[in-house]
Structure 1
Amino acid sequence: MRKTLYMVVALYFLCAGRVDAATETMALIAPGEAAPVIVIGKNASEAERYAADEMSVHLELITGRRIEILHDQQKSIDNVKVIALGQSKLTDDESIAELNVEQYVIDIQPQRLVIVGGRRPASPGRPARDSGTLYGVYEFLESLGVRWYRPEPWGAHIPKMTEIKLPEGKTISSIPPFQTRSTMGGGMSYSREETRKDIELAQIWAVRNRTNSGYGSPSIGVRFGGMEQHETGRHNWPYLIPASEYFEEHPEYFALVDGERVPYDHCVGNPEVQRIFAKKLIARAKANPELSSLSVEPSDARGGACQCDLCLALDEPRNPRAGGRVSNRVSRLGNLVAQMVAQEAPWLEVQWLAYSNHTAAPSNVDKLQPNAQIMLCPINGWDDWRKPLLDKSNRHNALFVQMAKDWAALEPAGLTTFLYYNGYGWPGPLPITRTLADRMRNYRELGIRGHYLPAAVSWGPAGLDFYMYTRLVWNPDLDIDAELDLYYQNYYGDAAQPMKAYHERLMMALKDNPYHVFSGGRGMHMLFTPKLVKELGGYMDKAQALVMGKSLYERRLYGVWAGYDFSRRISELLALKKRTGTVSVKVSEDKQSELPPDLARPAFVGGGSYYQSAEAEEAYRDLVRWMRSVNQDDPVFDMKNKPQDDAAEIIYAKRGQNFGAPFLHYLPSDVLIGLHQSMREEDLLKDF
């Protein structure tokens, strides 16, 4: 639809920040008038030049008018409308000295549109950044209706207009509530094979939606205005003192277990180990002083194996809190290392996780060092994605809230989160947008200052929720209903109505689901009862009929349909298991599950029962083959398109290791033996 834009832009800017009273309008682009020119400083930064390119390209896509880019000393611009971007002679009168690096001014004058943002020079612990102008350009383009729903060109929504009128006045954006907003770790997926072009598209998509880390290397981030540099969540002990380098000569650096030194964990009560940890962090900080934080986190799911007197002394008094078995040891170590680091690299924050067996805050630390940063990990039983965070009747969310408050009381330099909502355990639909909106508002109130979201994104089934994450981490106060309605209309076109019904029904089903849904989407399979699948299938059939022959919308719908069909197949697998299986008791922790070798992995939840079914196991294998078959053109599921050597796949599965996709580590155990639930499957599958 071609239209004149005025009222929408006026309302947008009135809601976006502080706006001077505007009684006049400026026609930025009008039929019969010369197109405006973009003007940047002669010595514009790389990010300001990139902002000009983005503005020029998108305005041409919107209006069909070519928009030239000039610098402020090229030629007279007296008789033409100007879009002045970044610091230049044309923006000298804008007061930007006090702006945060991610803030910007949008000043609409009678003949000029000015967008200029804050800058931050490099200093120890703070990388150079000048992303404000670029963010202002993206905010302006969004006010025109532009959206970047997916990284590929076909995932963008670009409205068509012949005229753009803007209300005169000045807007100053607010400071983003979260200092770090990470996503994807630099690519479009985690397991799927990526080309260089895929990675670049993902990086551009991420910055257009204003995430500020996870683009890859810092050099890549320069054109995006720089990036926040944190060593996010790295399990660093084995990298600081690797067994391959130290174990032979210094076994005393490693854990004492049943009277013997073992290479898989460390003796962190050893003062020399503490000094080496600090020395390694200091050396890295001095080599790259723009790094904001480095990790002193244990190996994954370890960190408490050593039984020597020095390590046991770090534990005392023992932590009584759930999930805090080795919190005292890890936090005492972190505090000691942070104290040593502060003497030579006072700008560096030393980070460790509230995770696994050290999730709860310690009971033997009264106050953390001023340079200690804690990353909260709402994994497994510390979060339930069905319910609001402050729902006191939900013990899982109540655990997280109390844990966050306990850590905050120790006065760390900052709290961040390592978000696990992405589907590392479930590659199907993740209808958590409304839950995520609740989370972001409450995370802010808890004093959490940043978020890291790892990769493992099945773009087809979960694209809506991944996009909405970027919107909410930028603005937790987003009008979620309005933004969702825009998504349904823009992304699905004529299929907007049935697809709105599809997504909203999924979100309601999650809210009403009687069984918890933990990190990585684990537990989602119980949502898809035959009754719900039938209802969702009706919406999907209507949507497919409405976009038939319309290639853009057919392509956008394809991945969402694949996510629905995956869930339908899971539902049928569960019904098949109930119909053909025999009731078996779940195995205990120290035994392998009773699945065949190519599906087996160590059990970690005992109790309850499950239906053991050879027919269901074969249906699961068929499901994985089908997933690979629909995963060729688009990254529908975050998995390798082809299995590796079959023998190797069986070996990896036996070890419980990721092979070709994170969810292949969990999914077979969850759907075939209900491993995430300590319940009788006769009760769990009553609706199947």
Structure 2
Amino acid sequence: MFKSFNAYLSKAVHCLLIVIVLFSCEDKNITLVNNGASNYEIVFLGEATQSAYQSAETLQEYIQKISDVSIDIVDESSQNTNKHKIYVGHNSDENLSKHQIQILSDQENIFISGGSDEAVSDAVYEFLERFLGCKWYAPNVEDVPKKSTISLNKNLNYTYTPQITTRTVHSRLFYENEKFAAQHKVTTKAFPYYMPSARVHTFNKFVPEEKFYKSNPEYFALRGNKRLPTQLCLTNAKVLDMVKDSVQSLFKQNPEASVISVSGNDNTQFCECGNCKKIDDEEGSHAGTMIRFVNEVAKAFPEKTISTLAYQYTRKPCKTKPLKNVLITLCSIECDRSAPITQKCTDFADDLKGWSKLTDNIRIWDYTTQFTNFLAPFPNFNTLQPNIQFFRDHNTKWVFEQHSSNPSELFELRSYVMAKLLWNPDANVDDIITEFTNGYYHEAGPFVKSYVDLIHKELKNYPDFFLFLYGDPSQAFDAYLNPDLLKQYVTFFNDAEKAVANRPDILKRVKVARLSIDYAVLEACRKSVSEDFTITETTKALVGNFMSVCNEANINLMNEMGYTVTDYGNAYLKSIEVALQPNIASGKKVTLLTKPKKYANEDPQALTDGALGGSNFYSNWLGFEGNHLEAIIDLDEKKEVKSISTAFLQVTNHIVFFPKEVTYYGSVDGKNYSKLGTVLNQFPLNKKSKINDIQYFDLKIKPSQWRYLKIKAESLKHAPYWHHGAGLPSWIFADEVIVN
């Protein structure tokens, strides 16, 4: 009897424990969907703005994608009293700031709210990602879990206010796909709220050189003893009136715009007249004249925001405080990207600290890719987070992270990481990268991640390396792109391709990801960095594959100067033709009669070393600033010469122009020279000149015997008055001399 009672009691207790556990589990969870059914409806709160309703539709869409269950959307007056609720919109019971989001539960109900329509959208996507596991890697590439039952913790209590409130990643992935931008909580425009026609570098727009320079040179900058249309004279009262009138006219034409840029042209040729110099001296910065001028404009438009640049010569803070409606846009263009700004760009860091003491209205214009080589390896991922955290900590509410807009190295990954960090600067970067590489490249993901990890690790082994926005892969062939490492990177991507060989859509993504290494390999071959990387007949196939992958992925541009993939491919094929043809000048001694500067180590032998220059002046070009090129090549003995060719580079925005003409001379004794001929520049410089180009100055002559050849390339010496570098010495860059 006793034994039987104990057994009964034990069984009863066991059953009671099961009931308690079941009720306990039930108490802790909210079940939105249970085995293909739901007792929930989505209620949008407040006025049914289009944006708020779209947020409710987004929630409905993804719950259905996850569970195949469509939950009804209703307004507050149409609620079903028998259903639980997911409230979406502005929660009147909560006093949320404009950018704040909140995700709460109350019994069985869920509240997804924000302090504005934009914040409500952010809250919905945060709910979908954080609590339902949705991921968006690229437009039309998402990871949505499939579940017949959706359960959540009953005690939801999440609130977040982003400290960076205007977040822009300069990527066409976001600009061309508004939904993708919303998923990542970034803007769909590079310059939201701005006057479309006055976003940056506006002085020439307000006071056009073409219209006023000849008649009113006093409106423009005094440089030395000459007025030049590089910048405006900011102490000229008529200039101030003209700018105010232009601003007023533009706001009347575009009343919806709330921000306009009143900012200098893209050069450092500021006005040095007595009045401007006096102010700048008083202020301790060339920003002095700028801020006083912009403040006067801002006074006339108190309901609008006047943006100006703290950039290059105006980056150092002045003493005068910007008015409340003046937006200071601080630009980090000069910085070394191999380490955080606070470590390797301390001048910029000090300037930001200085401006943050003067104003809390700061916009950072940051740069995250190599603008002379969009597709080049650019290992700066380790700097992104500390830089953004530094910006945040110094009154920055608006960050513009300038990618190339057009595809650059690991474009999708860069866009993803930057958006994540702008939303939460304290997120774990390695986790973000791993999440993306595994989600976007699938089985190939670990190999892509291995490449990312290794190239960043190797960069750290070269603490003196300057990772520059206007650099070139050739600078790293002794560092993180040395031949042994290039071979390892190639192996990573070969293995990545093998891992997804039977998945064409994923394989295509991997091929695009490896473009940066393919590009580095091509440039290594161009420079003949080792026996494994040199130009041969097979290099043509590498060029063809590179162009094919770019074309299929709709990648058209190589750099910010408009140099296209087609330009690059054709120029490279030409360089292969040049490299493979006989050259009796190859390796011969070069004597310079004029002095080069800085580039190619100022080594005369750059003209005959067999390494060919690319589209960037860092890539094996011998440069001459403000003077002509004059060089003599000693062929060792008299040889028959039929043709001579020299390549020259043009990068007009960096004041690099083709020579006006190139003249070739021959001599048998090194003393007396005969003129062989002159080749004129086929593309004389003008305002519409191609920004980035290579031209071969070819001369064919009657076969004759010469030991010494002299080359004279005539430089423009100075930029023309209409160029942003007016008055500054211009460059010519020469490459391999081919003699046959």
Q: Which of 183, 207, 211 is the matching residue for 2:169?
A: 183
- Which 5+ residue runs of structure 2 have no aligned equivalent? 1-25, 559-563, 575-612, 624-653, 655-740
1:546-585 → structure 2 map (5 Å cutoff)? 546-576=499-529
Q: CA RMSD in A?
A: 3.7
1:375 and 2:351 matched: no
Aligned to 1:608: none
d(CA) in 2 for partners of 1:619, 1:333: 56
Q: Which of 163, 167, 177 is the matching residue for 2:153?
A: 167
Offset of residue 78 of structure 1: 2.9
Q: Which of 71, 77, 80 is the matching residue for 1:77?
A: 80
Given that 2:234 and 2:293 are in contact with CA atoms closer than 8 Å, whether structure 1 keeps it comes out as: no
Aligned to 1:293: 259
Given that 2:326 and 2:361 are in contact with CA atoms closer than 8 Å, whether structure 1 keeps it comes out as: yes
Offset of residue 470 of structure 1: 0.7
Given that 1:428 and 1:461 are in contact with CA atoms closer than 8 Å, whether structure 2 keeps it comes out as: no
Aligned to 1:530: 483
d(CA) in 1 for partners of 2:256, 2:331: 25
Q: Which of 442, 448, 452 is the matching residue for 1:499?
A: 448
1:277-310 superposed Cα distances (whole Å, 9 cap, x missing partner): 2343345456656645322211111441x45433
Given that 2:66 and 2:146 are in contact with CA atoms closer than 8 Å, whether structure 1 keeps it comes out as: yes
1:401 and 2:349 matched: yes
Q: Which of 172, 183, 187 is the matching residue for 1:212?
A: 187
Q: Which of 183, 200, 206 is the matching residue for 2:176?
A: 200
Aligned to 2:620: 672
Given that 1:230 and 1:293 are in contact with CA atoms closer than 8 Å, whether structure 2 keeps it comes out as: no
1:85-144 superposed Cα distances (whole Å, 9 cap, x missing partner): 214xxx5xx523x3122212212244332212112xxxxxxxxxx211100111011112
**Which amino acid in the other structure matches residue 331 of structure 2?**
C
Given that 2:235 and 2:289 are in contact with CA atoms closer than 8 Å, whether structure 1 keeps it comes out as: no
1:583-637 superposed Cα distances (whole Å, 9 cap, x missing partner): xxxxxxxxxxxxxxxxxxxxxxxxxxxxxxxx97999999876543321232456
Q: Which has the higher strand share?
A: 2
1:29 and 2:2 matched: no
Counterparts in 2 of 1:580 and 1:251: CA distance versus 1, 3 Å: farther
Given that 2:219 and 2:233 are in contact with CA atoms closer than 8 Å, whether structure 1 keeps it comes out as: yes
**Which amino acid in the other structure matches residue 449 of structure 1?**
K
SS of residue paired to 2:289 = helix
Given that 1:279 and 1:341 are in contact with CA atoms closer than 8 Å, whether structure 2 keeps it comes out as: no
1:524-560 superposed Cα distances (whole Å, 9 cap, x missing partner): 5513111111222222222221212123422332211
Aligned to 1:385: 337
Counterparts in 2 of 1:285 and 1:142: CA distance versus 1, 3 Å: same
d(CA) in 1 for partners of 2:266, 2:538: 33
Given that 2:557 and 2:565 are in contact with CA atoms closer than 8 Å, whether structure 1 keeps it comes out as: no
Counterparts in 2 of 1:503 and 1:546: CA distance versus 1, 3 Å: same
1:620-662 superposed Cα distances (whole Å, 9 cap, x missing partner): 9998765433212324564545459999xx9xxxxxxxxxxxx
**Which amino acid in the other structure matches residue 27 of structure 1?**
T
d(CA) in 2 for partners of 1:477, 1:580: 43
Offset of residue 521 of structure 1: 6.4
Counterparts in 2 of 1:111 and 1:560: CA distance versus 1, 3 Å: same
Aligned to 1:603: none
Aligned to 2:494: 541
1:150 and 2:147 matched: no
Given that 1:428 and 1:462 are in contact with CA atoms closer than 8 Å, whether structure 2 keeps it comes out as: no
d(CA) in 2 for partners of 1:417, 1:674: 35
**Which amino acid in the other structure matches residue 290 of structure 2?**
L
d(CA) in 2 for partners of 1:36, 1:429: 49
Counterparts in 2 of 1:361 and 1:215: CA distance versus 1, 3 Å: closer
d(CA) in 2 for partners of 1:336, 1:617: 59
d(CA) in 2 for partners of 1:467, 1:79: 41
d(CA) in 2 for partners of 1:616, 1:281: 55
1:298-309 → structure 2 map (5 Å cutoff)? 298-304=264-270, 306-309=271-274
1:65 and 2:53 matched: no
Counterparts in 2 of 1:251 and 1:574: CA distance versus 1, 3 Å: same
Counterparts in 2 of 1:367 and 1:318: CA distance versus 1, 3 Å: closer
d(CA) in 2 for partners of 1:516, 1:372: 37
d(CA) in 1 for partners of 2:135, 2:470: 26
Counterparts in 2 of 1:142 and 1:262: CA distance versus 1, 3 Å: same
Tell me the number of residue pairs that the alignment of Structure 1 and Structure 2 aligns. 547
Counterparts in 2 of 1:623 and 1:551: CA distance versus 1, 3 Å: closer
d(CA) in 2 for partners of 1:406, 1:345: 26
d(CA) in 1 for partners of 2:37, 2:135: 27
**Which amino acid in the other structure matches residue 162 of structure 1?**
S
Aligned to 2:420: 471
SS of residue paired to 1:497 = helix
d(CA) in 1 for partners of 2:390, 2:568: 43
Q: Which of 25, 36, 42 is the matching residue for 1:38?
A: 42
SS of residue paired to 1:316 = helix
Counterparts in 2 of 1:622 and 1:505: CA distance versus 1, 3 Å: same
**Which amino acid in the other structure matches residue 633 of structure 1?**
E
Q: Which of 362, 368, 392 is the matching residue for 1:421?
A: 368
Counterparts in 2 of 1:232 and 1:264: CA distance versus 1, 3 Å: closer
Larger Rg, first or second structure (1 or 2): 2
**Which amino acid in the other structure matches residue 183 of structure 2?**
R
Counterparts in 2 of 1:617 and 1:301: CA distance versus 1, 3 Å: farther
SS of residue paired to 1:301 = coil
SS of residue paired to 2:103 = strand
Counterparts in 2 of 1:261 and 1:386: CA distance versus 1, 3 Å: closer
Given that 1:36 and 1:81 are in contact with CA atoms closer than 8 Å, whether structure 2 keeps it comes out as: yes
Counterparts in 2 of 1:500 and 1:644: CA distance versus 1, 3 Å: closer
d(CA) in 2 for partners of 1:57, 1:643: 44
Given that 1:296 and 1:334 are in contact with CA atoms closer than 8 Å, whether structure 2 keeps it comes out as: no
1:262-288 superposed Cα distances (whole Å, 9 cap, x missing partner): 444322221111232234334545665
Given that 2:195 and 2:257 are in contact with CA atoms closer than 8 Å, whether structure 1 keeps it comes out as: yes
Aligned to 2:682: none
When normalised by structure 2's length, the TM-score is 0.66
SS of residue paired to 2:151 = strand
1:481 and 2:479 matched: no
Given that 1:108 and 1:166 are in contact with CA atoms closer than 8 Å, whether structure 2 keeps it comes out as: no
Aligned to 1:277: 243
Aligned to 2:580: none
Given that 2:105 and 2:111 are in contact with CA atoms closer than 8 Å, whether structure 1 keeps it comes out as: yes
Aligned to 1:108: 105
Given that 2:36 and 2:68 are in contact with CA atoms closer than 8 Å, whether structure 1 keeps it comes out as: no
1:339-393 superposed Cα distances (whole Å, 9 cap, x missing partner): 3422x3223333322222333234xx3544444332221113xx222123333xx
1:265 and 2:241 matched: no
Counterparts in 2 of 1:239 and 1:301: CA distance versus 1, 3 Å: same
- Which 5+ residue runs of structure 1 have no aligned equivalent? 1-21, 120-129, 189-197, 219-226, 320-326, 582-614, 651-664, 677-688
Offset of residue 29 of structure 1: 1.4
Given that 1:212 and 1:228 are in contact with CA atoms closer than 8 Å, whether structure 2 keeps it comes out as: no
Counterparts in 2 of 1:439 and 1:367: CA distance versus 1, 3 Å: same
d(CA) in 2 for partners of 1:356, 1:546: 47
SS of residue paired to 1:632 = helix
SS of residue paired to 1:509 = helix
Higher relative contact order (CA 8 A, sep 6+): 1
d(CA) in 1 for partners of 2:619, 2:541: 14
d(CA) in 2 for partners of 1:28, 1:399: 54
**Which amino acid in the other structure matches residue 136 of structure 1?**
A
